[in-house]
Amino acid sequence: MDDQKIVDLYWERSESAIKETQKKYGRYCHSIAYAILHSNEDAEECVNDTYLRAWGAIPPAKPSRLATFLGKITRNLALDRYDSAHAQKRHTATELVLDELSECIPDADSTLDLTDKIALGDAINSFLEGLPVKTRQIFMRRYWYLSSIKDIARDVDMSESAVKVSLMRTRNIFKAHLEKEGIVL
């Protein structure tokens, strides 16, 4: 079933919307949650919470890209679950990935107002659009999907060292791009 028909089912408040979402995007959402939580049980709970959150958000939302909409919900739920489970612990794999970007982007808890957040989002989008496809894939796999260096290297057919260098260079370019756009770090 195509995305528009699934969204229409949500708008009609048909329970089959959840079944169709699960059929089409269940594995996708699970892979996002699992990459963050490293637990099948926690990932499954996040995926189920994603369906509940989507049910509550559609309507009024009418997402044009259902995969992106669901992926964002899943990622946010998994990160929230991760934060609560690891509040006192440090240096886990997920924590290290998030720390890599800490010197490039403002802290999420900072006092950015809505205008600043919109500007940051626009700057990130323009940066990503300007990257070569392979570099963008590596960057997104690491910082959006929180994939390991080893997994990225295997999937893009590069050495782990080459992936690390690519990420370091891309972070430096990213930081310079944000500064050029007037984003204060």
pLDDT in tens, 67-106: 999 999 999 999 889 888 766 555 466 666 767 776 676 6
Say what the pLDDT of residue 107 is: 57
Closest listed residue to residue 24, CA positions, set 61, 60, 59, 54: 54
Q: Is the pTM of this model over 0.75?
A: no
Domain spans of the chain, in order of start: 3-88, 94-180
Architecture per CATH, 94-180: Orthogonal Bundle (1.10)
Q: How far apart are CA 114 and CA 171, in angstroms?
A: 24
Buried/exposed 29-43: b ≥16 CB within 10 Å, e otherwise: bbebbbbbbeeeebb
Residue 173 confidence (pLDDT) above 80? yes
Domain 3-88 - what CATH class? mainly alpha
Q: In this predicted structure, what is the pLDDT of residue 183?
A: 74
CA atoms within 13 A on the CB side of 130: 10
HSE-CB for 149 with a 13 A CA cutoff: 14
